[in-house]
Amino acid sequence: MKNKRKDVYNLAEEIQKFDVVVVGAGPAGMTAALYASRANLSVALIERGVPGGELVNTADVENYPGFKHIQGPDLANEMYEGTMQFGVVHEFGTVTKVTPNEGAHLLETDMGKTYQAKAVVIATGSVHRKLGVPGEDKYAGRGVSYCAVCDGAFFRDKDLRVIGGGDSAVEEGTYLTQFGKSVNIVHRRDELRAQKILQDRAMANDKIDFTWDTVVKEIKGDDMKVTGLAVENVKTGEITDVEADGIFIYVGLIPNTEAFAELNITDEEGWVITNDDMQTTIPGIFAIGDVRQKKLRQISTAVGDGAIAGQEAFNYIETLNG
């Protein structure tokens, strides 16, 4: 009996209590933490990696107000320093479970820590979708990449293939031309989905060409690395083998909502559903940024979400306090 009481006592001691816990330190999460802490709330910012989210993997940012041009990691660092100025507590870990309890939500992490918060802000972002073809997992890190900024320098004077046709594929394809000998963008349609300015830059670049109406069927390689692709023309059905030294994949995003699946706050694809105040259907639980069901996922929209959530968390806590 004594041991049981000791265990209960220790568990209570291990629970860290905050007014607000923000899960994820991308632009959205950092902004929410900034606004909530500036409102004199106690705030924990839980992040499993380097603060900045996808900013850390972004080469050039030129569509964020206030900066004509800035490197992604530099902007992430600027945001982080601003976030921490009002006493935000930065915690390392991955949230694995959230147990709702009005005014006292519990969050468990893979670091063995438990947090209690009056308000929770989910800002876990998303990850790159995989093609799901043979060879993709086998050659991950051996010629297959999802991050041009991270891995581009390893492919100097190489022939590269970029899979996708949206903003990320075209922008990162252009970025890769500073390293690769050639960059071929493989797209399943006959026109790109990327912003016009990004398309124009890519099409004006002598190192970039395009393969239209084509999907990847298999990623091929030897015992050490990628050597090429098997691709299929979606109109003719013809399958062709093409050579490649590196393959960069940008075919969409998957929300990081595994830890919140039991809360029933997501749509069928896993994106968290909120109202315009970033509120989910659970009182005191908010969602912001790339993890939220929305049309446009940009740094500026993430920051806007974060500002709203930080203020709404304050308003919600005020209602709890009467």
Six token digits for residue 149: 């900024």
Given a contact cutoff of 8 angstroms between Cβ atoms, the answer to whether 294 and 272 are in contact is no
Type of residue found at 264:
N
Six token digits for residue 73: 């990691």
Residue 167 appears among annotated catalytic residues: no
Quick one: DSSP state of residue 91? Answer: E
Residue 151 appears among annotated catalytic residues: yes
Q: What is the CB neighbour count within 10 angstroms for residue 113?
A: 17
Type of residue found at 84:
M
Using DSSP, state whether 26 is helix, strand or coil: coil
Six token digits for residue 306: 């974060």
Using DSSP, state whether 289 is helix, strand or coil: helix
* Residue 61 bridge partners (DSSP): 70
Radius of gyration of the chain (CA): 22
Residue 7 appears among annotated catalytic residues: no
In the set 60, 150, 190, 209, the catalytic residue is: 150
> CA distances (Å), 222 to each of 61, 116, 143, in order?
37, 51, 11
Sort strands 70-71 and 60-61 into parallel, antiparallel or unpaired: antiparallel
Using DSSP, state whether 309 is helix, strand or coil: helix
Nearest to 106 by CA among 38, 10, 12: 12
In the set 19, 151, 167, 245, the catalytic residue is: 151
Q: Which residues are annotated as catalytic?
A: 147, 150-151
